[in-house]
Chain A
């Protein structure tokens, strides 16, 4: 029997379904002589329950790719499908609705609202959508992210790691089809960063959450099921189940 929750939030797709599919993406910034081709023909598929890392040197086009996949930016050419919907032609309202229903974000700078406490920040996407949080799910998330005791603290009273955990919970609360994380550990020390990576991995293993994570750190990339290496706007290599050494080898070959 379907609950109210199920009507507004899509069921998770079955593991293995393609949830994000990009074809021949190009992205050009500027015009004429000064034009920069940030993406030069990228295609990829992300399957449900997968943790995909996108790696590459600085300026290679990682963020651009992620922004286009998430519908925040429009490609110069190419198509993106999320949960079966082609998104590159959608208007702002439809895109917003798509983000509400299907996409979660974790940013490098945690981007929490300072006047809301941790719990309020977590349920923010639901409040915006005018929905009530699933109490059990919220409790489970807060428990999992270790925020249960800090739930009524404001961001200014939380450490960087705690703030990022709030941000991750905020992304997970809607059970998005796909969660995008751009350098989620970029602003944290290595110990805290490690805890955050554990949490990301855990959410894939425990809840089957699909995640695309952009990073330039090898130790972040290795938690992924699959690593896409990008250089000069092209996917140049793909590794599955890679070790830190493998990653470092590929990276050093890319930057040379």
Chain B
């Protein structure tokens, strides 16, 4: 029997290959994800270990609120006086202070050199003396010396063609300054940390340009011979101020690696989820293909039974076939994943996430998980067809046109489908709305629920196919004439088969619809929020639309003739009532450019905050039982506590508040936060938004390449770019499952053509041209794809409705244009899927086809 199964498989190589494709792609996604993230993790690990290799211990500044560094919230520097104290410790052989901050490089085109989403790092170096603490190595030139020199990373140098002696712009605090490139450097042996740009200055210059004279961000320490790093740490600890911490070099490297790994794990899980979706769709395709093959082999299976094969043996032979296909597909997928890892990396670079790469890491875990999941899914998918195969009675061997017996439960299939859908929806609703479950359980419930919804709809599809095909096949009949009419008939002929084929596509289209509907809802709410809140004429934001911008740029705009108001919103981190919050700072004239509804107080509140006034949003006030006059204590990253008094409560519009959890006056904010910056600023100018005014304002920002002005409508569009970017990334990742479902259509059509060989011969004999044959197959494919769309798009909309309700703030809007695009995409998908099967059908030799049995 084993031999029969294997020989049979060999005899159906094309079918086996087409079936395996469904698994190959899904497994490739899984293995590619692992390879990518493992490789990046290894690269980071190596970099950090190298960076701290000569450092026994390191003191770093820290936010009193915990470790969370970004451009917005630099941890406050500590006094430089600490260095002398550390140097005086008995266990210390040597110690060196350093500055680290953020500074953008400006290219020759006057634009900020983007690190592709990665930060723009800045460091200090001590150009003289030995460089054993220095994590950087010179590739060319020398260390920068004095107030006019800089060293830059090798990645930027090569990408933007900078060499020693060139001049380059830098934005640190305030307007752009120019420096001469003294050297080009690598960090920890690599040209760039995931695309981050680096600006390196000598120590005094760094202190000066970052306003950190008399301050330090880090101290590298080497221990005396015989003093262990942990001893050293114990010695240093008592000297530290509240906003500094000390770790051994090793621990610091491990900490840095852990921080990046946390981020990478999110990427990993995110990509694996798409791999999972792809495999889920692949499972559908496999189950369907095997069902068709088994139906076509009814006679063969029955013959085996008459020859004495037991049901068990039949089951085993089908499962063995699946095992072979699953194994081959998974192994192929595993290795395709290596290539896909590169592709995924490029995809991320394209969407602005540039990650470091070193030697490819192909871990045992990658192999085990990929094979286990791939083979597992194939076997599960094969189970139902295999069980059906065992029910072929031996008598079918001698009956002309014997068909596979239908399931005993076939009669109840519609009811079972509805029951499944109901149960699935219930699970999803629990995941979405029931309180008191962990995020993991929540996501699990939503995922399992959605998967079950798909299974249920697929079960129901059989009942829906005939009416759907009748309606959706109407254009085929109009366009394709007899070929179109026959195509429609063919699509309706075996509803189960058409349903299963269309269902695979349904899943991909439902998910694509889900994200597009949600995104459109998000955009609408966001637009409504912007429309109701921002009453300024111009917005000033970072060129990348989300980074904070220097206050100096806002000040530069104030000098433009005709400008009436320039008011920005500062943003930083804080801690109140035991949890992290966003703190914003505003001045009184913000009310001229931002309008919100006030539950307590009025538009005058921002101007009346003084030194200790604050206002909060309604939800925050309700949560912490605050009323006007209530005290609020907000801890700052510098370990200071602001004792504030509530002066007003505003009601933010759905779709986003312009302010953080707690808002204080600009004056107080700037006193508490060492490096205050605006997240955005708004401008009112005499004459309003005109081309002339835009030109004037843009000119004023010439020396601030990191900032740009935008009219209110441009501002909205710019802010939506982020949503669009994410949406496009999701589309690309979901397209994998759509491609798999296309292979499903190809598979079904090839098998169908094969099955209808004699029929095609007859059609050709009675006068059907090759073109008509191809057209017939193509229309059947399009009808199947359209059924997929007709099922998938509504399912996606319903899912979006449920998810949208759960994440409350999103308005529910249906992006009709986008959905119409999806329908056209489905038609094109159908045409593409039909190319190969239609060619095969068209090429059939009429005579051979007629004699075919």
Contacts and interface: CB of A to CB of B under 8 A. Distances in A.
Interface of A: 67, 70, 72-73, 92-93, 96-97, 99-100, 104-105, 107, 109, 111, 113-116, 124-125, 127-130, 170-171
Interface in B762-778: 762-770, 772
Contacts of B847: 67, 72-73
A58 B592 CA distance: 101
Contacts of A104: 766
Nearest to B401: A156
B27 to A, nearest CB: 38
A107 B846 CA distance: 13
A127 B482 contact: yes
B782 interface: no
Interface of B: 481-483, 485-486, 489-490, 492-493, 758-759, 761-770, 772, 846-847, 850
B769 A127 contact: no
A235 to B, nearest CB: 21
B758 A96 contact: no
A87 B591 CA distance: 90
A114 B493 contact: yes
Nearest to B776: A128
Contact of A115 (B493, B764, B846): B493
Given A111-B762, A114-B493, 13 more contacts: A67-B847, A72-B850, A93-B769, A93-B770, A99-B765, A107-B762, A107-B850, A111-B850, A115-B492, A125-B766, A125-B767, A127-B482, A171-B766
B769 A96 contact: yes
B481 A105 contact: no
A100 to B, nearest CB: 3
A109 B758 contact: yes
A116 B489 contact: yes
A31 B484 CA distance: 42
Contacts of A72: 765, 846-847, 850
Nearest to B483: A128
Contacts of B762: 105, 107, 111
Interface centre among B481, B483, B764, B847 (most CB of A within 10 A): B847
B482 A128 contact: yes
Contact of B759 (A111, A127, A130, A170): A111
Nearest to B488: A115
From A67, A107, A125, A128, residue with most partner B Cβ within 10 Å: A128
B839 to A, nearest CB: 14
B481 A124 contact: no
B762 to A, nearest CB: 4
Contact of A113 (B486, B846, B850): B486
B846 A127 contact: no
Nearest to B482: A127
B764 A111 contact: no
A182 to B, nearest CB: 9
Contact of A92 (B482, B493, B770): B770
Contact of A128 (B489, B758, B767): B767
24 contacts: A67-B847, A72-B765, A72-B850, A73-B847, A92-B769, A96-B764, A96-B770, A99-B766, A99-B767, A100-B766, A104-B766, A105-B762, A107-B850, A111-B758, A113-B489, A115-B489, A115-B492, A124-B766, A127-B481, A127-B482, A128-B483, A128-B766, A128-B768, A130-B481
Contact of B766 (A92, A93, A109, A170): A170
Contact of B768 (A67, A70, A96, A105): A96
A107 B489 CA distance: 22
A78 B489 CA distance: 41
A113 B766 contact: no
A171 to B, nearest CB: 8
Contacts of B765: 70, 72, 99, 105
Contacts of A92: 769-770
Nearest to A116: B489
Contacts of B768: 96, 128
Nearest to B762: A111
Contacts of B492: 115
B493 to A, nearest CB: 5
A96 B768 CA distance: 7
Top 10 A-B residue pairs of the complex, sorted by shortest distance between their CB atoms? A100-B767, A127-B482, A111-B762, A115-B489, A125-B766, A72-B847, A115-B493, A128-B482, A96-B769, A128-B768
Contacts of B489: 113, 115-116
Nearest to A99: B767
Contacts of A109: 758
Contacts of A128: 482-483, 763, 766-768, 772
B348 to A, nearest CB: 49
Nearest to A100: B767
B767 A129 contact: yes
A188 B770 CA distance: 32
User: Which of B481, B483, B486, B759 is the most central at the interface, judged by chain A CB atoms within 10 Å of its CB?
Assistant: B486
A100 B764 CA distance: 9
B753 to A, nearest CB: 15
Most buried by A among B483, B490, B762, B767: B767
